[in-house]
Amino acid sequence: MFSGSKNSNKRLLFIFLVLALPITIYNLLGLDEANALGVFTTVVLLWFTEIIPLAATGLMVPCLAVLSGVITPGIAFAPFGNQILFLFVGSFLIAQAMQKHGWDRRVAYIILSSPYLGRTPNGLILIIALICWFLSMWISNTATCAIVTPMAIGILNTLSDNFEDRESFQNFSTRLMLICAFASSIGGMATPVGSPPNLLAIQFLAAKGINIDFFQWMFFALPISLIMLVNLHFILKWRYPVNDIALTKIKVLFHRKLVEMGPIRRSEWQVGACFLIAVTLWISPGLVKAMAPESEFYVFLKTHFPMGIVALISSLLLFILPDEHGVPNITWEDAKVIDWGTIMIFGGGLVMGAILDQSGLATKFGSVLFAGGLDNIILTGATAIGAGILISEFSSNTASTSIIVPILMGTFAGIDPTATKMLVVACAFGASFGFMLPVSTPPNAIVYGTGRIQLKEMIKSGVLFDISGFFLILLFVVIIFPKLGLF
């Protein structure tokens, strides 16, 4: 009892020191913007150490900012009313309905029981990668990995006796687990709703009058996300070669699971329809703009159907439409379990951006971190990508984006909006990487928790993929895409 009490006291003391020391020290040193610098240091320490939950840190950011006099309460809490946060809420509600009614599992079972399924383990792994990649564009990478990982374990159990040697089966197992984790994160890069860094980047840019709509993001993000997936497939195929075996059992297994689900139910049709409504309205403004940028219809769509409103309308329909049992497709009990923590972290990240911007710290940090400036755009881009990847290895990708992107914005937004857009997107892509450790992303933690993957294999493959991803992002986002006029 006393030991537990001592540990608790030590933890409270450490939390107090993290909260109090930075502001005190910076003020004693007489530094400019000492309070803002103290809040920034405190929040970064809390994000990295996770001595309190990340969501709690997100809520703490505006409190610290107001208490220390850095920004006013109106500015501090305004980001929590941002429509981008409600885009998250709507997206999470749709994803919850998809999971509740089995829409996501049915799609996966249809694909895995198809007669067109690859006839080799390599083909099967590629199919699993494509399922993870596609699902994570629309639902969280955590949910995607949680859906597909049990399927992958079922595949391993089914095929365990079919491999001629243990080494080949171990390679197959390791590769399948890593595909579940890594592909679930890669797909999230392709759409604004796929990953928090994407929406943070869009919102920080919008605050400076630099706009990216849903269609524009997918136009340049989808190709690079697909390139990353192909890159991942060949890296893991090279690292973990697998012998060819028959896959008849796999098709039978998932065909049986599909049959057990029965015919498509009314609730699934309704959830699918709401999802399609959301995607259509997210993409339509960009398509109309590309065809008729000055049309009144484009102005109407842009004004009345921002992404957050579309997500809420589509998800709220699910509270109204009755399923085959005469009850709404989702209830508030279902809504309670969506990832509210990510929303709090996201809001805190936006507040951190306001702190860095209004205090002038973003400009000062940028002059040191991005010393190459726009004259050496490749070096600056490499720094932004590298910082995003490195911080994401040890903290959340939301935290990583919240630290680096405001610095980029404060340094370059007033100089060259086009270059700023490119650098912010590159940084957001980098923040979506972080494949080295189980703590780097929730999908990594999920597959590591199965006991089917060794830590050293995750580290080796993760480092290799991080490095290759760094150069691919640099090549396409910083060098090739600007020359093609995509920014």
Residues 193-238 have pLDDT tens digits of 888 889 889 888 988 888 888 888 988 899 999 999 999 999 999 9
- Higher pLDDT: 227 or 162? It is 227
pLDDT at 9: 67
8 Å CB contact between 210 and 421:
yes
Residues 167 and 270 in one domain: yes
Residue 475 has pLDDT above 90, yes or no: yes
Percent of the chain with pLDDT strictly greater than 70: 94
Q: Which of 330, 254, 402 is nearest to 90 (CA)?
A: 330
Residue 274 has pLDDT above 60, yes or no: yes
Task: Measure the CA–CA gap between 481 and 402, rounded to whole angstroms.
Answer: 24
Residue 133 has pLDDT above 90, yes or no: yes
Tell me, rounded to whole angstroms, the distance of Cα 22 from its chain centroid.
Answer: 30
Task: Measure the CA–CA gap between 198 and 24, rounded to whole angstroms.
Answer: 35
**What angle is formed at CA 388 by the lines to CA 482 and CA 360, rounded to 5 degrees?**
90
pLDDT at 2: 39
Task: Measure the CA–CA gap between 115 and 342, rounded to whole angstroms.
Answer: 39
Residues 166 and 314 in one domain: yes
- Higher pLDDT: 350 or 236? It is 236
Residues 51 and 118 in one domain: no
Mean pLDDT value of segment 236-262: 80
Mean pLDDT value of segment 296-324: 87
Residue 29 has pLDDT above 80, yes or no: no
Residue 344 within any structural domain of the chain: no
Which of 70, 100, 116 is the endpoint of a domain?
A: 70
Residue 268 has pLDDT above 70, yes or no: yes
Residues 109 and 41 in one domain: no
8 Å CB contact between 136 and 130:
no
**CA trace torsion 445, 447, 448, 449 (10° rounding):** 80
Residue 264 within any structural domain of the chain: yes
Place of tokens 């809390």: 46
Per the structure, the complete domain to which residue 54 belongs is given by 1-70
- Count the neighbouring beta carbons within 10 Å of the beta carbon of residue 376: 13
Residue 266 within any structural domain of the chain: yes
Residue 394 has pLDDT above 50, yes or no: yes
**Predicted confidence (pLDDT) per residue in 41-53, tens digit:** 888 888 777 788 8
Residues 52 and 137 in one domain: no
Residues 290 and 330 in one domain: yes
- Higher pLDDT: 474 or 117? It is 474
Count of the separate structural domains present in the chain: 2
Residues 63 and 174 in one domain: no
- Higher pLDDT: 8 or 265? It is 265
Residue 362 has pLDDT above 80, yes or no: no
pLDDT at 169: 82
**Predicted confidence (pLDDT) per residue in 140-153, tens digit:** 777 788 778 877 88
Mean pLDDT value of segment 353-377: 79
Residue 21 within any structural domain of the chain: yes
Mean pLDDT lowest for which of 305-319, 401-415, 437-451?
Answer: 437-451
Residue 347 within any structural domain of the chain: no
Residues 52 and 182 in one domain: no
Residues 229 and 262 in one domain: yes
- Count the neighbouring beta carbons within 10 Å of the beta carbon of residue 254: 22
Which of 277, 300, 335 is the endpoint of a domain?
A: 335
Residue 162 within any structural domain of the chain: yes
Q: Which of 161-170, 428-437, 440-449 has the highest mean pLDDT?
A: 428-437
Residues 141 and 173 in one domain: yes
Residue 294 has pLDDT above 80, yes or no: no
Which of 291, 318, 335 is the endpoint of a domain?
A: 335
Give phi and psi for 34, each to the nearest 5. -60, -40
Percent of the chain with pLDDT strictly greater than 90: 14
Q: Which of 198, 206, 188 is nearest to 79 (CA)?
A: 206
Q: Which of 183, 187, 188 is nearest to 201 (CA)?
A: 188
Whole-structure pTM value:
0.77
Residue 343 has pLDDT above 70, yes or no: yes
Residues 292 and 186 in one domain: yes
Mean pLDDT value of segment 171-184: 90
Residue 3 has pLDDT above 60, yes or no: no
Residues 63 and 115 in one domain: no
Residue 478 within any structural domain of the chain: no
Residue 381 within any structural domain of the chain: no
Mean pLDDT value of segment 91-118: 77
Please provide the average confidence, as pLDDT, over all residues in the chain. 83
